[in-house]
Amino acid sequence: MLRIHMSGADLSRVRMATRPDAMWETILSLHRLRDRRGSTVFGKWRRESRARLNGEVRLLSAVVPPRGYFPDFLTPSGGGAEPFGLDAGMEALRDTPEDRIRQEIGLLAGSATRARRSSGALPETLAEGRTEPLGRLIPALRAYHRAAVEPYWPHIRASVEADRAVRGRALLDGGADELLATLPPMIRWRAPVLEADYPVDRELRLDGRGLLLQPSYFCRGTPVVYRDPDLPPVLVYPVTHPGAPASAEPGPWLGRLVGHTRSVVLRSIGNGCTTSELARRTGVSLASASQHACVLREAGLVRTLRHGSSVLHTLTPLGAALLRGGAPVAVS
């Protein structure tokens, strides 16, 4: 069980990450790649990603075991709600102090035999405080990200943005208490403690630092926090998965978007709305609003998540790009 103790000051400093974190998604996806569970969501992604990989998993497994602890420095935090993109994250990783690398790699000592078998002396040289092994680790992380994460980034970002819309709505409706109460079922808000299912017993005291909530596509089952309690407090938790990751490549369904009414519906969804709100904004019936939202969802332009007794529609990056006139969706 994880218990995060929050004061009134901490509650006032709860904030949502503005987008997915490239480093967290990269490391957590490595767990999913080696995990046989969740085949409905991750099965097709695993097959496609493995076909593009070329030995990176073997090297990275030396510092990212299939389960349990992995070094905190692999997922650097900027301390704010704006997560690192891949380039900034890699630079922060490269700048990790030697003593911190030595300390955190030392915690992997229990898996030294497996590490040597998988990639030679990488963990040992890092544990000695030598940073030149980062010259092997960082290119491997980049190559792995290009093969397993980058092709699916629009879908990952859409999932996180949809989750943010749900949490943001809860925050507007009932404040931070309501926001924390709507987190996934494995996380329970019992003021003043946020409890979560966790592999080990852990007490985390925020001491006025607040908490950053980071939704993650590749997080599964239980949330994740830094092992080092002195690092900026971040709670990484899984988003709801209505479907498997898909690319944003256009298909024949785009022809279904032709028409004034559906264009109005897409614009009206904007930063998120329920079906009832969509009907009011567009002046169509509830059934018609639901039908249009369904078509847009099938086209990959809209995501729909359930929020209490209603559903919440949000734009995907592809839908937002279409409204911007087809501007490209940046991977960050």
In degrees, rounded to 5, the angle at the alpha carbon of residue 330 between the alpha carbons of residues 24 and 72 is 15
Helix (H, G, I), strand (E, B), or coil: what is residue 306?
A: strand
pLDDT band at 117 (very low <50, low <70, confident <90, very high): very low
Percent above pLDDT 90 for the chain: 42
What per-residue confidence (pLDDT) applies to 157?
Answer: 85
pTM above 0.85, yes or no: no
Residue 36: pLDDT over 70: yes
Buried b (16+ CB within 10 A) or exposed e, 97-127: eeeebebbbeebeebeeebeebbeebbbbbb
Highest mean pLDDT among 25-29, 132-136, 248-252, 292-296: 25-29
More confident residue, 331 or 318: 318
Distance CA 65, CA 51 (A): 21
94-109 residue pLDDT tens: 999 888 988 898 888 6
Instruction: Residue 166: count other Cβ atoms within 10 Å of its Cβ.
Output: 22
Count CB neighbours of 330 within 10 A. 11
pLDDT tens figures, 210-251 = 999 999 999 998 999 999 999 999 999 999 875 555 444 444
Segment 153-179 shows an average pLDDT of 86
Q: Which two tokens stand for residue 11?
A: 């509650």
**Which percentage of the chain shows pLDDT scores above 70?**
83
Q: Among all chains, which residue has been given the structure tokens 């507007």?
A: 172
Averaged pLDDT, 7-16: 94
The mean per-residue pLDDT over the stretch 275-285 comes to 85
Mean pLDDT in residue range 32-59: 89
